[in-house]
Structure 1
Amino acid sequence: MLSRQIIALARGRALRADAAAVSRGWKVATAYSRRAQFHSTKLVEAETVKVPQMAESISEGTLKTWLKQVGDSVAQDEEVATIETDKIDVSVNAPTAGTITEHLANEEDTVAVGQDLFKIEPGEGGAAPQGKKPEEPEAAPPKEKEDKAEPKDQQVEKSLPEPPEPAPSDVRAKDTAGVQEGHEKKDVKETSKPAPPAKGKGEKEKPAPAPRVAGARTETRVKMSRMRQRIAERLKESQNAAASLTTFNEIDMHSLMEMRKKYKDEVMKTHDVKLGFMSAFARASCLALKEIPNANAAIEGDEIVYRDYVDLSVAVATPKGLVTPVVRNAENMNFVEIEKEIASLGKKARDGKLTLEDMSGGTFTISNGGVFGSLYGTPIINLPQAAVLGMHTIKERPVVVDGQIVIRPIMVVALTYDHRLLDGREAVTFLVKVRDYLEDPRKMLLA
């Protein structure tokens, strides 16, 4: 009898051990299954975007503005940041649609080409597709379809049992509660007013700016932009390197103004461009440069480089500084073509969209300070060019014409030239040629 009890006890222990082993096996299998399912899920990794190549001569810049913040969605090729260099502003665009996850540099930091700039997680950037709201859940399939999808032998009764009918006392209590609740909701609806939005924890009230005190001697320090630093360097370099000299002359603008007045409406209607004075000065300068080639030359080492083409630099004032986009092969253009090109470059300059190619090169410069009211001025040479022509404002003056004193619109023009390349005779002759072409614009048709 005792031996039978011992055998039964041993068998029970063995059965319990087997059951425990089976249970552990199921747990291990379940864990491996979950782990395998986790590893089989595709994880979207954020992509690191680097500072793009800007130009051969530009290796770094200043991160000026973040146009997209962390958490913002962007479309492919959408502008994310702006980098300011000493020549142009470079846009950094998103390589793919997605969400900005991290900024790797701060505004006003100096960033080098190839440096990590920000991280983007690929996905659907920008607006959600039309016809479907982003947060709208998909409608659940009807119950009938779910039942049909299951085999008949596996279908179960899914309807819940009907609740028992309430007692009469419960009905009366429920109706009373419903009426009371309706009155409360009505009272709340009539008396409640929308409360002002609460401020977040991170938001703080901005202090009002301190009022200006009369006679206060305050100072403000602002870091120079890279473009302004580059302009300062080049202007000082020009003063140090070139043997600058300026000659002046006066131009009677009567004939040119009459021509412009007569044809500007027709040019606007036909070509959709304003007929200004810049095209006439550009055309006159190109013709004069053919006769005085030294004014279109440059010094490179111990050699003089003469050009048989004119790449005309036109000075344009922008909020960031003076830039000089280039009109290529201006010697082959007529008035309308020059005006169109200048208008296009001027718009790109004001919008900050000029590229390095738009400003590189240039063989001769025209600067129009007259649009700001300048009466006289000595422009600075844009090295390695040999000369720069300065236009000024037009003033009516009494002048002698054919022995008679008459009132004429007069503009003072200035030519600053590099005396290492141009002698005084050549510089004065060049300016006189420009004057003669402008005082009788018909001469430009015969040249």
Structure 2
Amino acid sequence: MFGVFRRKIVSGSSSSALIIGKSWRRARPVASTAAEGEILLHTRIIGYARSICHAIQPGSAVNLRPLREVMTSLQPGVSIQLQNRMFSSDSGDLVDAMVPFMGESISDGTLATFLKKPGDRVEIDEPIAQVETDKVTIDVASPEAGIIQEFVAKEGDTVEPGTKVAIISKSAEGAAAAPSKPATSEAASQPPPAADVAEKPKQKVETAPVIEKPKPASPPPPKTSASEPQLPPKERERRVPMTRLRKRVATRLKDSQNTFALLTTFNEVDMTNLMKLRSEYKDAFLEKHGVKLGLMSGFVKAAVSGLQNQPIINAVIDGDDIIYRDYVDISIAVGTPKGLVVPVIRNADKMNFAEIEKEINTLAKKANNGTISIDEMAGGSFTISNGGVYGSLLSTPIINPPQSAILGMHSIVTKPMVVGGNIVPRPMMYIALTYDHRLIDGREAVFFLRRIKDVVEDPRRLLLDI
């Protein structure tokens, strides 16, 4: 920003007109005959303001003592009259709304939708647009309170951090003046009124009679063979571009299928005791901890026990090495309207049932609201996917890279089972473990799944550590 200060120099006998440039120390005379001159001071705030005054702030006085000293030393006896005006900027009313920093591993995103329209009033930090990345959706907030003057980007554009999305006017005048410009151009492009056209003299134009030629008969439509399929018309189809989240999920799952030697083993779990435990203590659990007791916390605790008994399930291949993890971070697959996200429960091996339920509840709400952060989904050493909430009876889940295994839960179905020589109805669930056979052998995979089965069917094993 630049400011201009005008100074008048008055002398009794003679005076000199000076132009002081970037620094008051580098003054040079320009004329010596004028009875009255002007001093024009052009400077930048950053770099040169300190050499002229201590500080230049809106509404504050300017310290011109160094200027007086220079003028006194150059022209003895010269008196100086100073006329000042405020340092200002012509573009102070308009501010730009830009794409914020989106994370270390995210370089760009897609401008998914605008939450406001030009002319709408916005408050400071109010979201005006959403940028969709490979992992999360990020809001573009208004830096100041004001009125949206215009959007400089379009939906579907690829944007990077720092890209300007909108122009905000801090006053209503700037926004009201913007729509008037296109109206002027539209008025110029409109045809002249009918009255003006009528005033022009009409010229008589003679036209020759038009002879219509007979149109050739259109050829009959080609006959289709009986074996040719009848495709539906294109008007009944809709083409919608994939979201960045969906493309990212598709890429990661295909890479998992191409990289890992996927193998799935199954087992069946009797849910009687775990469901009985929840039924007996759910009211007391809710009253004390403020969260409902679900089945997922029991499976998380069972998975922690299984990973501690079979550390190879918690390991991962890195080149020619095997990395063993001495911590247990459980990823929970959550299906949202925008796609699949996998928030992580950190240090699940050090949490009790209540802490696990609270963390699952918090992460699930953030995932469904679209407010979950990248850090809350990064990492994870093992994944649990519960397709049973959608009614899945059996499935083979795909590993979430760079992990080595994933546990699949399914719906609970009442089946006739033989217990103590008698056929009784039991709530049963199929569980599946998909693992990387390059690292994990079938023996360790089956032992791990058996540990899940034993702990879920008898939760007292967790208390006794057996």
Tell me the TM-score normalized by structure 2.
0.67
Query: Deviations 1:345-401 (Å, cap 9, x if unpaired)?
Result: 000000011110010001000000001111110000001101000000011111111
Structure 1 residue aligned with 2:148: 100
Distance 1:41 1:289 in 2: 66
Structure 2 residue aligned with 1:68: 116
Structure 1 residue aligned with 2:430: 412
Q: CA deviation at 1:291?
A: 0.7
Equivalent position to 1:366, from 384, 400, 405: 384
Distance 1:298 1:364 in 2: 10
Count, aligned residues:
323
Query: Deviations 1:409-435 (Å, cap 9, x if unpaired)?
Result: 110000000011110000000000010
Structure 2 residue matching 1:80: 3-state secondary structure: strand
Q: Which runs of 5+ in 1 are unaligned?
A: 1-35, 125-214
Which amino acid letter does the alignment assign opposite residue 462 of structure 2? M
Query: Deviations 1:92-125 (Å, cap 9, x if unpaired)?
Result: 111222222221101111112222222122359x
Which structure shows the higher strand fraction?
2
Structure 1 residue aligned with 2:327: 309
Structure 2 residue aligned with 1:278: 296
Q: CA deviation at 1:37?
A: 12
Structure 2 residue aligned with 1:235: 253
Which amino acid letter does the alignment assign opposite residue 118 of structure 2? V
Structure possessing the higher relative contact order (Cα contacts under 8 Å, 6 or more residues apart): 1
Structure 1 residue aligned with 2:164: 116
Structure 1 residue matching 2:375: 3-state secondary structure: helix
Query: Deviations 1:315-362 (Å, cap 9, x if unpaired)?
Result: 001011111000000011111110110010000000011110010001
Distance 1:339 1:39 in 2: 61
Which amino acid letter does the alignment assign opposite residue 97 of structure 2? V
Which amino acid letter does the alignment assign opposite residue 410 of structure 1? M
Query: Deviations 1:167-225 (Å, cap 9, x if unpaired)?
Result: xxxxxxxxxxxxxxxxxxxxxxxxxxxxxxxxxxxxxxxxxxxxxxxx97521111110
Structure 2 residue aligned with 1:266: 284
Query: Deviations 1:241-287 (Å, cap 9, x if unpaired)?
Result: 00000000000111111101001111122222111110000000001
Equivalent position to 2:101, from 29, 40, 53: 53
Which amino acid letter does the alignment assign opposite residue 408 of structure 1? R
Which amino acid letter does the alignment assign opposite residue 257 of structure 1? M
Structure 1 residue aligned with 2:393: 375
- Residue pairs, 1:183-198, within 5 angstroms: none
Distance 2:361 2:250 in 1: 26
Runs of 4+ with deviation above 4 angstroms = 36-43
Which structure shows the higher helix fraction?
1
Distance 1:332 1:54 in 2: 31
8 Å contact 2:95–2:144 — kept in the other structure? no
Q: CA deviation at 1:73?
A: 2.0
Structure 1 residue aligned with 2:367: 349
Seq. identity, %: 54
Distance 2:384 2:369 in 1: 21
Q: Superposition RMSD on alpha carbons, in Å?
A: 2.1
8 Å contact 2:93–2:171 — kept in the other structure? no
- Residue pairs, 1:21-60, within 5 angstroms: 43=90, 44-60=92-108
